[in-house]
Structure 1
Amino acid sequence: MTAWNAEWRAASLPELASRDWDLIVVGGGICGAGILREAARRGWKCLLLEQRDFAWGTSSRSSKMVHGGLRYVAKGQFGLTRASVRERQRLLAEAPGLVEPLSFVMPHRGGFPGPRVFGGLLAVYDALAGRRNHLYYPLQQLRYLVPGLAESGLQGGTRFFDAVTDDARLVLRVLGEARADGGEALNGMRVLELLREQGRVAGLEAEDLESGQRYAFRARAVALATGAWADRLRQARGAERIRPLRGSHLLLPGWRLPLAHAISFMHPADGRPVFVFPWEGATVIGTTDLDHGEGLDQDACISAAEVDYLLQACALQFPAARIGRGDLLSTWAGVRPVVSEGEARRKPSDEKREHVLWTEPGCVTLAGGKLTTFRLLALEVLRACAEFVGRDLTDVGDPVFQPFAAPPLPALSPAQRLRLAGRHGRALPDLAQWVESLGNERVGATDTLWAELAWAAEGELVLHLDDLLLRRTRLGLLLPEGARGALPRIRALCQPLLGWDDARWMREEADYLALWRRCYSLPE
């Protein structure tokens, strides 16, 4: 494949706009990436346009979990759960090093759900997955499984398994598969309107946010996978609308609250499920579930009340750790695109998480859905688009991630090789050249290699510094003060690869640090 960077983007954009496309996908999150991937493997001429950056919205700010949705079993949503657990197993098998098993422990303290009820739910959950996946531990054993867990009223705990991922890297990996099969993807392209001819969508007009220039794109079909933005472009019919719900998280250093398992429990304030779990060498506390009333075009931010809510949850389970605001490395907040029927509003946590398709001639809008089931959602969208494109659609269950020959990388440990293979897939040979040049040195206490930063700057279409530090890597979350202390060395390595002069770098750095303080730090 040719280089995928800002220079390529600027040179290719006029030519890409002049093509006749079978399908244009709007939205660069996991659902849009999945649609592009499934279209590209079938030989469709397909292009993805993202208004900000790939995974910029919900898909870099989720709870990082690839799961079947145990809560959906309790709500009777068995079809959603069955599909989710089976897709979870596929991803675990296809993308080791990117999608990894994670064990969960639910402590039982005498309230609902007790061991018997919870075990019954897990029995259904396991049956849908086709394997037994849980076990009850009495108090004596639980002490060894989860040291430091509050013992007031504690009877025991139930352990079960789901999976965890780096959601932004998952999106980049799926896009890499799509591009390897002929798809194209551009960030920084804001779709202004759909172009309609003779009563059907025939393309769209988009603005290049880097240059300000507008382009008209023609396509036989347009798929809108814009998440919480779904109501902006489609022709609205009926009462169903997107209800943006915010989920916020806290991140603290792993040494401050070391965990081998995710701890799952109900928050006493509202009965919502809350998790404390290990991720990328750190510890996450999440999540909330609130109506997001702020504008969607700015990064969502955690509120002071949400910080208090999550710290209270952590203190109830781990009181001796005395976790407080001063321990936090960073925060993040994402907006879930939940479909609401427009009636008197339920509590946010009571809204169903089912997806819907809205169709008009030439255009299909995907609303709602889950990260775990992105492949199934993509196939459903393509089936709806096939009539407009004039193609048949069959699915034989081909893997999302094609097998590839990994280079030997002798300088790395087996765990590092697995991690890089999972996150970079078929791009690993290109990254390997940077590993050979820079070695296996990690950035600070993270698992991220300096070589990964170099490769991202050179070949992963970074347009702005927050793309590099918040999504291509997670250094802005995992290092103190958004990686401020590492910025001089990051600049020395990446500025030449990005092609930025000194004035551009200084502007990008100032914008990034202001963004981090506003949306990824504690609220003032």
Structure 2
Amino acid sequence: MSFKDLPKEFDLIVIGGGITGAGILREAVRCGLRTLLVEKQDFAQGTSSRSSKMVHGGLRYLKEGKIFLTKAAVEERCRLLNEAPGLVEKMGFLWPVYKGESPGKHSLEIGLTLYDFMAREKQHEYFHSGKFLLLTPHVRQDKLIGGFKFFDAQVDDARLVMRLINESRDLGGTALNYTAATQILRDEENCAVGVAIQDVETGETFTAASRAVINATGWWAEHLFPSPVEGLHIRPLRGSHILFPAHKLPAAQAVAFAHPVDKRPIFVLPWEGATMVGTTDLDHKDDPWQEPAMSRRELDYIMDGIHGVYPSLQIAESDIISSFAGVRPVLSRGKKDPSQESREHVVWVDKGLVTIIGGKLTTFRLMALDALEASEPFMERIPQHKPGEPIFAPVPAQKPRDDKGLTAQAWRRLYGRYGVKAPQLVEEAPEGALEAVGDTETLYAELPWAAKNETIRRLSDLMLRRTRLGLLTPKGGEEFLDRIIEYCKPFLDWDDERWEEEREAYLELVQKAYSIPA
């Protein structure tokens, strides 16, 4: 969208196109507010495409006494499972218990019982070693006395952001990527009354007025508004993951275990046809505007964990498909151990500028409601929150009748990611595009759909966020690029020279930030 097509006035402007900003946009539009969201990079380019892909309450938060945080997250997990099937899916977890090692059977039993109580359903079970090994035969058997099975949920985090944004646009909301907020505009009483914005590619500028502005920029939030609380600041913490082919590290269900060095929980997760392992928790001190990347130290840490729990598989670095790193916007009062920092969120209000920081992917909706509530005093018309209504537009319970040859599971996945637009995506698919890309679950048809409908500015937008092929295939999916480009060419106004530039830039990015660190 060109700025000349933008209205000059909005009820609300949201800065930040990650999960928090997207959730605020969705709730604001549902309340009838004229809302603009701007994101300096691509939607979900920051932490919101780099999470552990889990929608969960967080067992470890119970250990830290964060009962209310865990309860809220468990309730939101249940809501999302009901509202977004195919996008948020229930996933079984296994946790082995070893003699003399922490966490022990008793402490896990207490935590999982509380977890079930919050979900209002018994969802965990203990198995002795013989039966447990039938569920996950490759785990270390030495000192194994048994293990627990419980349930959480999984998500494609970047597609969650895009579904929120797309459905907000369908209801009249405006969302612009690669659009920087260069200045918060204030009146003579120092109240926020709008935002100056600039297209980062073209340099085009625009001034948009609003009743209130919400700063939802994650770990960049203090660049717009410094903390008003003495000693309380954002502590950027990096979490990294690696992905393997499923046949190299088989995981029909997720496996959680305590890392042998520091007893932090590590997860082995089946995801989109691959197996993902993570995460780490380290201070991130690199340039905030550069793509974060896994360090050698983190890779060694995760590999040590894998070798400790899967000694018989002889997993090697050469088996790794890709790596990725994300930076958590955690609020800190200076604790030494990153894993002890709170994952709760806070809201700061300064004369029409509302800043929201912290939180978890799972609780994005609660954060959105808190941010909107803090914005209400600055609105001429107060939005009517509807907390009991689904956040997503409902989709059919069954796949439509068609002759495209897609399975019920493929339809479920498409509906989860594209909502009511899924049948249109299938109907408009180019010839031969309703087949999966390599060993992934992604259809070729998803790429031209994104190119046409989801404001693509870079090839990396297509490969790393609209789809996850850059993570799920070797060398960022280089072997599939020719076919992908042919499908997408009709929908992107790029000449052959631009396509070649995009290819080179994307593959350089994959090598720099998504490969095995040297």
Shift of 1:305: 0.9
Q: How many angstroms apart in 1 are the aligned matches of 2:476 and 2:402?
A: 30
Question: Is residue 258 of structure 1 aligned with residue 250 of structure 2?
Answer: yes
CA contact (8 A) 1:407 1:428 kept: no
Aligned pair partner of 1:249 in 210, 226, 241: 241
Shift of 1:108: 0.6
Q: Which 10-residue stretch deviates more, 322-331 or 430-439?
A: 430-439
Shift of 1:391: 2.8
Aligned pair partner of 2:412 in 407, 418, 423: 418
Q: How many angstroms apart in 2 are the aligned matches of 1:40 and 1:422?
A: 20
Which residue identity is paired with 1:100?
Answer: E
Shift of 1:435: 3.5
Question: Is residue 237 of structure 1 aligned with residue 228 of structure 2?
Answer: yes
Q: How many angstroms apart in 1 are the aligned matches of 2:356 and 2:24?
A: 10
Shift of 1:395: 2.6
Q: Secondary structure of the equivalent of 1:255? A: coil
Shift of 1:194: 0.9
Shift of 1:238: 2.0
Deviation track 1:344-392 (CA, whole Å, cap 9, x = no partner) reads: x321001111110011011100000111111111111111111111233
Aligned pairs (5 A) from 1:228-307 = 228-239=219-230, 240-307=232-299
The percent identity for this pair of structures is 47
Q: Secondary structure of the equivalent of 1:117? A: helix
CA contact (8 A) 1:434 1:454 kept: no
Shift of 1:487: 1.1
Aligned pair partner of 1:317 in 305, 309, 313: 309
Question: Is residue 372 of structure 1 aligned with residue 362 of structure 2?
Answer: yes
Q: Which runs of 5+ in 2 are unaligned?
A: none
Partner residue, 2:164: 174
CA RMSD across the alignment: 1.3
Partner residue, 1:5: none
Q: How many angstroms apart in 2 are the aligned matches of 1:78 and 1:301?
A: 33
- Runs of 4 or more, structure 1, over 3 Å off, are 404-410, 435-439
Shift of 1:409: 3.9
Q: Secondary structure of the equivalent of 1:490? A: helix
Deviation track 1:482-502 (CA, whole Å, cap 9, x = no partner) reads: 111111111111122112101
Q: How many angstroms apart in 2 are the aligned matches of 1:507 and 1:103?
A: 43
Q: How many angstroms apart in 2 are the aligned matches of 1:409 and 1:254?
A: 31
Q: How many angstroms apart in 2 are the aligned matches of 1:182 and 1:409?
A: 31
Which residue identity is paired with 1:167?
Answer: D
Q: How many angstroms apart in 1 are the aligned matches of 2:79 and 2:263?
A: 31
Q: Secondary structure of the equivalent of 2:386? A: coil
Q: Which runs of 5+ in 1 are unaligned?
A: 1-8
CA contact (8 A) 1:204 1:217 kept: yes
Aligned pair partner of 2:436 in 433, 442, 451: 442
If the length of structure 2 is used for normalisation, what is the TM-score? Answer: 0.96
Shift of 1:433: 2.0
Q: How many angstroms apart in 2 are the aligned matches of 1:394 and 1:190?
A: 29
Aligned pair partner of 1:89 in 78, 95, 107: 78
Q: How many angstroms apart in 2 are the aligned matches of 1:209 and 1:510?
A: 20
Partner residue, 2:478: 484
Question: Is residue 19 of structure 1 aligned with residue 8 of structure 2?
Answer: yes
Q: How many angstroms apart in 1 are the aligned matches of 2:423 and 2:29?
A: 22
Aligned pairs (5 A) from 1:401-416 = 401-405=392-396, 407-411=400-404, 412-416=406-410
Q: How many angstroms apart in 2 are the aligned matches of 1:144 and 1:346?
A: 40
Shift of 1:75: 0.8
Partner residue, 1:141: 131
Shift of 1:176: 1.6
Partner residue, 1:326: 318
Q: How many angstroms apart in 2 are the aligned matches of 1:373 and 1:49?
A: 21
Partner residue, 2:191: 200
Aligned pair partner of 1:101 in 84, 87, 90: 90
Shift of 1:222: 0.5
Q: How many angstroms apart in 2 are the aligned matches of 1:287 and 1:176?
A: 30
Shift of 1:114: 1.1
CA contact (8 A) 1:177 1:426 kept: no
Q: How many angstroms apart in 2 are the aligned matches of 1:466 and 1:396?
A: 35
Partner residue, 2:340: 350
CA contact (8 A) 2:238 2:280 kept: yes
The number of equivalent residue pairs is 511
Q: How many angstroms apart in 2 are the aligned matches of 1:209 and 1:114?
A: 52
Q: Which 10-residue stretch deviates more, 399-408 or 372-381?
A: 399-408
